[in-house]
Amino acid sequence: MRIVGVTPATGKNPGTQAYRLAPRSVLIAVICGLIQACAGTVHTVSGTEAAPAPMLAADDLALFERLQAEYALQAGAGEQAADRLAKAAVLSDDPKLSLSALRAALNAGRATAAQALLARWRQLQPDAPALTAYAAAAALAGGDSDGAHAAADILGSAAEGRRRLAEALRWLPSLERVLPFVEARVERSGDAEAWMHWAAFARDRRAPETAMRLAAVALQRFPADARVHAFRAALLRERDPAAAVVDLERALELDPASTPIRMSLAHALDAAGNAARASSVVAGIRPASDESVNAAIAYAARAAQPELLRAGYRQLQELPGQHPPQRLILLGNVAEMVGARDEAERWYRQVPAGPQYPQAQLRVAALRYSAGDAAAALSLLAQLRAGGLPGRDALVRSYLLEAEIRQRSEGIDAALRVHDAGLHMLADDAELMYARALLFAEAGRFEEMERDLRRMIDLDPGDADALNALGYTLVDRNLRLDEAAQLLARAERIAADSPALLDSLGWLAYRRGDLDTALIKLRAAHAVLEDAEVAAHLGEVLWQKGEHEQAKAVWESARKLDPEHRVLRETMRRFQP
């Protein structure tokens, strides 16, 4: 171990003063205090002669400097941190510390220090694989472009060399030096992968124009390389989805067997609003897999294309091997979507005991009820609970489904009894309380509804659904509008874009006589939520503003989707007797 003399420290370290609240500040302060105390201790010999200054291990001093560097970094003082790390690197024999100090010097723009630290690192670890890459970065930091290129040439054009060079260049903050260097490196290369690599580097350094320029030139040089078209599409995806689709279509022409290109094209098509085409593209992946077929089905469902759904259903059935539980669940789901309910039940009944079993059996119960056999559905739910449903979620789903069945077959009071039983088993469960509150509202039992919603808010003040439901109920009944406004404002801070909340805010504005604000909010809600109650509210505001034909059009469109909706029918009756 090397030992060095230490001169007594004087003055205050500004870095130390700035970190009284650092997580390890007490321990670090003790260590630093001991080091400085030792450095400042003087022993007397023979009454008048001072003893030599005590000696500290270089590693101890290196630790001290590293701690000070950490303080400086936390304070955002990059140059001070670089200085401290440089001192630590000189004191330590650890090559990793030299590399850390070199990176800090490059990042702080200390070109001379970077060269010295590079030499120190080379001395300690002459065979370090990344040395040449950092030599290029250090040369570039000092304005020696030729030296940087010479070092980069030693790295070669292989992917590993490019990766190391890019990692070193990331520590240089000056894009004015880095980007021209990168473009010059690319110009020397006849490899499409090199062009894509450095274009991606420019993108990651937040230089999108350089990235796009490199990608465009790469397309000119390698027009038959599907990867280059796909890469530029990735750059274009957010700024110009339609252009990304064009590039990916071309990439698919060049490499029709590429699964990644097909998946990327489908994603871009869906983003551009063509989910049907997206479904067809991924359906063409061979061999088909759970991932590709699931994607095809999801896009088909989004496009509301029954024929594509049926094609996905056939593909799913034809996947090789024994169907695992998750696939059986999806088979049942898709069978329901295409109207094959008997087949759906058959798939669900094949799900073995395990994590997916409760979900499958709950779907069987729902199918039994939809087939007109409420008794069988209720019997199955009772059996499932008697057997011990694992986990809260399955138990809650069972109570919600039973309540829905009993409400439709026996009435609201029967459904409320189910929720009471569920809340006896799962006290204060938010989903069950919320569902019961909505039933109370439907039954006109507003005090009990308010009790449940307030209990939910007490348990979770950030429950936007409960805040919105209570606020909306007060607005709809035209009661305590100031309190309702406060509740809705709290919900808005949590879920500002919720269409249900926008409807509530619009209805509040209407109650207060602000028709313009009401119209803005309700139109925004109606644009994303095809709900009969939202349509009823929007139509009423339009009517009150004299836009009678628009109001009628909104109501009629909603009535086609939900002809029996109570609020919609009552609203239309009031204005169109």
- In the chain, where the domains are located: 1-128, 530-577
Residue found by looking up tokens 């009031």 in the block:
574
pLDDT tens, position by position, 255-300: 999 999 999 999 999 988 999 999 999 999 999 999 999 999 999 9
Helices and strands (DSSP H and E) totals, the chain: 33, 4
Give the pLDDT band (50/70/90) at residue 237: confident
Distance CA 532, CA 284 (A): 39
pLDDT of residue 6: 31
DSSP structure class, residue 322: P
Please compute the mean of the pLDDT values over residues 349-358 and round it to a whole number.
Answer: 93
Compute CA distances 2 → 83, 90, 93, 101, 121, whole Å. Answer: 21, 12, 10, 20, 18
Please compute the mean of the pLDDT values over residues 513-519 and round it to a whole number.
Answer: 96
Write out the two tokens for 367: 């199918």
Residues in CB range of 135: below 8 A, 6 or more apart: 118, 151
> Would you say residue 59 has pLDDT above 80?
no
Distance CA 64, CA 141 (A): 28
Cβ–Cβ under 8 Å, residues 43 and 91:
no
C-alpha closest to that of 61 among 3, 126, 100 = 3
Specify which residues 40 forms β-bridges with: none
Distance CA 121, CA 141 (A): 17
Write out the two tokens for 32: 């630093």
> Would you say residue 524 has pLDDT above 60?
yes
pLDDT tens, position by position, 10-46: 333 333 333 223 333 332 333 234 334 333 333 333 3
> Would you say residue 533 has pLDDT above 90?
yes
Compute CA distances 13 → 17, 53, 64, 72, 255, whole Å. Answer: 7, 21, 12, 11, 63
DSSP structure class, residue 352: P
Cβ–Cβ under 8 Å, residues 555 and 536:
yes
Whether the ω angle into residue 287 lies within 30 degrees of 0, i.e. cis, is yes
Specify the higher pLDDT residue, 453 or 388: 453
Please compute the mean of the pLDDT values over residues 73-102 and round it to a whole number.
Answer: 82
Residues in CB range of 533: below 8 A, 6 or more apart: 503, 565, 567, 568
Distance CA 35, CA 260 (A): 58
Cα angle 494-495-497, degrees, rounded to a multiple of 5:
150
Distance CA 392, CA 293 (A): 31
pLDDT of residue 75: 75
- Residue 151's identity, in one-letter code, is A
pLDDT of residue 234: 93
> Would you say residue 70 has pLDDT above 90?
no
Specify the higher pLDDT residue, 216 or 238: 216
pLDDT of residue 76: 74
Secondary structure (H, E, C), 121-179: HHHHCCCCCCHHHHHHHHHHHCCCHHHHHHHHHHHCCCHHHHHHHHHHHCCCCCHHHHH
Exposure string of 482-513, with b = 16+ CB inside 10 Å and e = fewer, is: eebbebbebbbeebeebbbbbbbbbbbbbbee
Give the pLDDT band (50/70/90) at residue 223: very high
Percent of all residues in the chain with a pLDDT value above 70, rounded to a whole number? 88
pLDDT of residue 73: 66
Looking only at the bridges linking them, the beta strands covering 3-5 and 44-45 are unpaired
CATH class label, 1-128: mainly alpha
**From the CB of residue 296, how many other CB atoms can be counted at a distance below 10 Å?**
27
Q: What is residue 258's three-state secondary structure?
A: coil
Write out the two tokens for 364: 């069987």
Give the pLDDT band (50/70/90) at residue 80: confident
Q: What is residue 282's three-state secondary structure?
A: helix
Whether the ω angle into residue 54 lies within 30 degrees of 0, i.e. cis, is no
Cβ–Cβ under 8 Å, residues 473 and 488:
no
Residue found by looking up tokens 């030139």 in the block:
217
Cα dihedral sign for 129, 133, 136, 138? negative
Give the pLDDT band (50/70/90) at residue 95: very high
Please compute the mean of the pLDDT values over residues 488-513 and round it to a whole number.
Answer: 95
Distance CA 54, CA 31 (A): 17
> Would you say residue 145 has pLDDT above 60?
yes
- Give the mean pLDDT of the chain: 87
Cβ–Cβ under 8 Å, residues 512 and 481:
yes
